[in-house]
Structure 1
Amino acid sequence: MPLTTDAVLELVQQVAAEVVTPRFRSLSESDIDEKRPGDLVTVADREAEELLTRALLEAYPDAVVLGEEAYAGDPDLIERFRSADHGFTVDPVDGTKNFVHGSPDHAVMLSEVVDGETVRGWIWQPEHRQAWVAERGAGVRRNGEPVHRAPAGDQPQGATSIWSRRGRDPLGLPPLRGSWVCCGVDYPRLLEGEADYLLYGHTNPWDHLPGTLMVTEAGGAVAHRDGTPYTARSRGSGLVVAADPATLERAIAACEPLWPRPR
């Protein structure tokens, strides 16, 4: 049986309560591993993804579920997701480094995609007790209340998770500051006005589909670094997310010299 938007949120919150929150600041060394140097994964990531994936496939047996940890073991999964008529992304613990180091800035994220278009998105920040939900054409809500993002001012403030870009000066704009190193926190902070645009080097669907839907539903805009649209089927690199379309255009132009040059 299809799941309502509220039912999916309840599922996410239940799984977080069962296997994520009990591990917060309680992880042992054996609970933490590396997928590759510096890329951490924990028992909470693996268990949460298994539970969420199982529940989604029970409700939608024909859907392709792209989980971050499943992709790590099966890189071909992302192409099956991109070509699918119906799919979901699962990021069981976004901001795993924050989670491992005891920071509350982590989240559980899901998105639903139909014919390559993101139609629903969920971000649950268990330590902040913030639930962000978006439905295409129906706006974005924080703990049930509608959220709208006002356009940025004349000097929009950018934030980035790319360490080599922090402190750099986009042309005519204030220096870039660091983001919260967690897309499930970055996007909500932009919606709350703590940043006006965000820069990302990677474009993983599980990291960005929930938040990009929320930003666009709140009046913002999203594109690759070259201005092309970012979608569930994108393969390009570099992502710019902004509070409004005009700020997106300014940020793309101002930050263009900061991106690595193609070889």
Structure 2
Amino acid sequence: MSSSPIPPEARAAWAAQDRQREARPELSLERIVEASVRIADADGLAAVSMARVAKELGFATMALYRHVGSKDALLVHMQDTAYGEPPATSPSSLGWRDGMVLFMRGLLEAHLKHPWVLEIPLSTPPLMPQSLKWMDWALAVMTDLPLEPFEKLSTMLLLSGYARNEAATAAMIGDMASPQNENVDVDFEAGLRTLTGPDRLPAVHALVMSGRLFEMPAEATSDDGDEFILDFGLGRILDGLEALIVKRKPNFPTV
């Protein structure tokens, strides 16, 4: 017997989307996921359990299983819901580069708003409703680019991965700066000066001894180091894509 190419979580999520115009039942997948997201936002992903969600909604725990098959399935729905809607701006109104920036920053904002998403493994292909909406929006931005279909998909995955990585870094920095962290007062630059030397890690030593380790480049538009790092990395990704576009089609607009 052949299995369906659509995971049960995706089938349930799309069915829920189709029911949105109907009167919402007393208990539904949508209400269960919304409550789960509220709990995770308030108390972290570890606080989400079928029992806690059922209590939040005023139902017996077993009632939830008529709408979502397991805790793992619930996490898949939560993850997709957390992405929210793609940008409201029409892709056709944007140049490809501005569109890709908006795509990446929109996903980054979603991850920063719901950092617990990073704790959920990416265990299924992007077949859930919100994931496919984001994919469709990004592909619409790239409609006219002289790229092969798989190259467009790879570009989208590269930028979504960049957003996820930047969100993970921001979460890690936030944890390091928390009052509970014993290393909050560690001076990174002073530590490098102490641990490195001309004969031990000479390249790192030369960098720190230049006295310019955290000096903002002249082209920086603000003194926000985190924002510069984000823009610098994103810019280099798009520069590489632009070089490929120009190679394929020299007269193609690059802005």
Greater per-residue strand proportion: 1
TM-score when normalising by structure 2 = 0.26
Larger Rg: 2
Greater per-residue helix proportion: 2
TM-score when normalising by structure 1 = 0.25
